[in-house]
Amino acid sequence: MRVLQVNLEERSYPIYIGRQLLSDAAIFQQSITGKQVLIVTNTTIAPLYLEKLRNLLSTIPEVAMLILPDGEQYKQLDMINKIYDELLRSKHHRTTTLIALGGGVIGDMVGFAAATYQRGVNYIQVPTTLLSQVDSSVGGKTGVNHPAGKNMIGAFYQPKAVMIDTDVLDTLPPREFSAGVAEIIKYGLISDAGFFAWLEENMSLLMQRDREALAHAIEISCRTKAGIVAMDEYEGGVRALLNFGHTFGHAIEAHEGYGQWLHGEAVASGMVIAATLSVHRGGLSDGELARICELLTRASLPIHPPATMQVADFLEKMQLDKKVMTGKIRYILLESIGAAVVVDNVGIAEIEQAIAGCR
């Protein structure tokens, strides 16, 4: 088992990465201080892992469970209300611990419910998708979507622990696995050329879900994210780099309808647009752009935006992206593979050119 630490003073917490974590009662018990637990999961994960986790918590006096529908389209305030209702029905106090057993949608929603139930209770992330293991379970971004925009409602609220059991990836569908690889590639692109090169060498192993390759890729990803979050918990500066590809990606998700394009797929296409823009600006080389497209393709990820989506659709959707700053959009661009920068003087013509260049 590998253990990382997210260093945030009194809000610091461990990330455990390894096999069989869902059989390790001790690491769960040390993160649960009260007598009450609510496990929240979804209809896909419940038949696979809920009973296992429930059995692991047999020493906890009161364990409630809630199963929500699966999918990004359910990441909304109504579901948060269902969590509140269950907590109140079961008479859970301020000392309760919520456990998010699922992917990013479950993690974001349970984190937000924990942030806002009785002004804040403890929660533990048990991410069951590769995407949530390497991204959303770490860093304390919680929340739900609004019809007018993704993640428009939420809070920064850190978990007590993150339990990454790599064995649960056995049951992950290939498309979702690839979506997770997109975020892994992102870490190489924004801050670690060596890791990007390692991914080029090991992508075949990774796509075969080789245990060692997976554990390494997850550890480097979580370490990179934890380091950036420790520097900038509330996204006032450097944390914005984690949004590489996301401004375009969110526009794709919003246009196609949440859940049609997986988040990681939209980010993959978004990263290609951002990389193309970076080439036009004279930072990234054509050769690097080609390497990025090749690596994404080997991970079975899209490198073109949706055929149905016009440049005008991008611009419309991007206007309300939450990373808009005082009406001006900031873009994360690459100076080279492994080096990202924030730029805020990009004109609409450049955006149009970059999107057109990715057709």
Active site residues: 119, 141, 183, 225, 235, 239, 243, 246, 250, 263
How far is Cα 31 from Cα 17, in angstroms, rounded to an integer? 15
SS3 80: helix
| Member of 58, 308, 326, 345 binding a copy of itself (CB under 8 A) | 326
Site membership for a copy of itself, residue 11 (CB under 8 A): no
The 77-96 site mask, x for binding a copy of itself (CB under 8 A), equals: x---x--xx--xx-x-xxx-
Site membership for a copy of itself, residue 322 (CB under 8 A): yes
Instruction: Give which of 2, 43, 4, 1 is closest to 229, Cα–Cα.
Output: 4
Site membership for a copy of itself, residue 148 (CB under 8 A): yes
Nearer to a copy of itself, 3 or 231 (CB): 231
Q: What is the dihedral of CA 250, 254, 255, 261, to 10 degrees?
A: 70
Site membership for a copy of itself, residue 50 (CB under 8 A): no
| Member of 327, 345, 347, 359 binding a copy of itself (CB under 8 A) | 327
Task: Compute the least distance from the CB of residue 35 to a copy of itself, in Å.
Answer: 6
Packing angle, helices 193-207 and 174-191, rounded to 10: 170
How far is Cα 52 from Cα 300, in angstroms, rounded to an integer? 32
Nearer to a copy of itself, 10 or 212 (CB): 10
Whether the Cβ atoms of residue 190 and residue 276 lie closer than 8 Å to each other: no
| Member of 99, 115, 220, 340 binding a copy of itself (CB under 8 A) | 115
Nearer to a copy of itself, 10 or 170 (CB): 10
Structure-block tokens of residue 142: 């919680």
| Member of 13, 117, 196, 261 binding a copy of itself (CB under 8 A) | 117
Question: How many residues are recorded in the chain?
Answer: 359
Q: State residue 66 phi and psi, 5-degree precision.
A: -140, 130
Site membership for a copy of itself, residue 324 (CB under 8 A): yes
